[in-house]
A and B are shown apart, each in its own frame.
Chain A
């Protein structure tokens, strides 16, 4: 690791904060997508489909 000088704690805190926030954003985006996809699949499994899609098979 490079020597970040006397203010290393500020630099490390900035990069750690950004890493955590970006990781949280990516996790939340994927989690939300998975949750909604599961709901949609459940509804379709119950035979509920858009009227324009025609009757369930």
Chain B
């Protein structure tokens, strides 16, 4: 088959080639890093210097600007992993495995941050650092799921086999995401119900929504940058493992 008669591959197939994926996404890293840094500078300026205190919670409302984006990412990162798990099981897409593995430590960190900042916000507003209510308990379960997934990745030498097992585990664990989301509606919880993404619009004034949205985008872009970089590293790590196997086979023969 000559070059002229070779059928053209779709972008989906071309991006399945790890080297191609790295070549396409590497130029995005610096622009995304600069955008993330600018968003953080703007978001922190709004959050700490240019937003009012809440009429009930006072200045502790400023904890919301780091708590809500962390909590959002704890669930968004898991959704990225669940979609990647489908990519692994249904399409056997090599970059789906890489995406799943690279996202897990990031998701675990943002979940731990959501719990940490939430407990620091809870003490002055509710009078307690922790309560075994639906939202907090299901978020703690999410942290344990992330830690289990990270442990599973480390337990397997064969990363292709690991990806299949972990993809199934990730999809089973995804049932926890709607439980977290609707826990405040299903059960009587200490945690407040949704106040931003509601059918009847946000229940906050613009002066509080602005810093919240800027920080929300800052955290989301931070995840995108770190995820991309960690995926590039994972591609290189697999190349190292393949070369080491090749060297070991060469030494034997």
Q: A33 and B120 in contact (CB under 8 A), knowing A18-B113, A21-B109, A43-B240?
A: no
The interface residues of chain A lying within 8 Å CB-to-CB of B226 are 25-26, 29
A21-B112, A36-B237 known, 20 other contacts, Cβ within 8 Å: A6-B58, A7-B58, A7-B60, A7-B124, A10-B123, A10-B124, A11-B62, A14-B116, A15-B66, A17-B113, A18-B66, A25-B105, A25-B106, A25-B226, A28-B105, A29-B226, A40-B240, A48-B247, A50-B242, A50-B243
B78 vs chain A, min Cβ distance (A)? 17
Residue of B nearest to A30 (CB): B229
Nearest to A22 among chain B residues (CB) is B222
Chain B facing A: main interface SS: helix
Shortest distance from the beta carbon of B172 to any chain A beta carbon, whole Å = 27
16 A-B residue pairs with CB within 8 Å: A2-B48, A3-B59, A4-B62, A5-B59, A7-B59, A10-B120, A10-B123, A11-B63, A25-B105, A30-B229, A33-B232, A33-B233, A39-B240, A48-B243, A48-B247, A48-B250
Q: Chain B interface (Cβ within 8 Å of chain A)?
A: 48-49, 53, 58-60, 62-63, 66-67, 70, 105-106, 109, 112-113, 116-117, 120-121, 123-124, 222, 226, 229-230, 232-233, 236-237, 239-240, 242-244, 246-247, 250
A: interface residue count bin: 20 to 34
With known contacts A36-B233, A51-B246, A14–B63 Cβ distance under 8 A: yes
Query: In the bound complex, do residue B116 and residue A17 qualify as a contact, i.e. CB atoms below 8 Å apart?
Result: yes
Using known A-B contacts A7-B58, A29-B226, A43-B240, determine if residue A14 contacts B117 with beta carbons closer than 8 Å: yes
Min C-beta distance of B243 to chain A, whole Å:
5
Tell me which residues across on chain A come within 8 A of B112, comparing CB atoms: 21
User: Residues of A at under 8 Å CB distance from B?
Assistant: 2-8, 10-11, 13-15, 17-18, 21-22, 25-26, 28-30, 32-33, 36-37, 39-40, 43-44, 46, 48-51
Assuming the contacts A29-B230, A40-B236, asked whether A5 and B242 have C-beta atoms less than 8 A apart, the reply is no
Q: Judging by beta carbons under 8 Å apart, are B59 and A14 in contact?
A: no
Contact B246 A11 (CB under 8 A): no
Question: Which residue of chain B lies nearest to A47 when distances are taken between CB atoms in the complex?
Answer: B247
Q: How far is the CB of A4 from chain B (nearest CB, A)?
A: 5
Q: How far is the CA of A14 from the CA of B116 in the complex (A)?
A: 7
Residue of A nearest to B62 (CB): A11
Q: Do B60 and A10 touch across chains, with their CB atoms under 8 A apart?
A: yes
Interchain CB contact under 8 A, A49 and B62: no
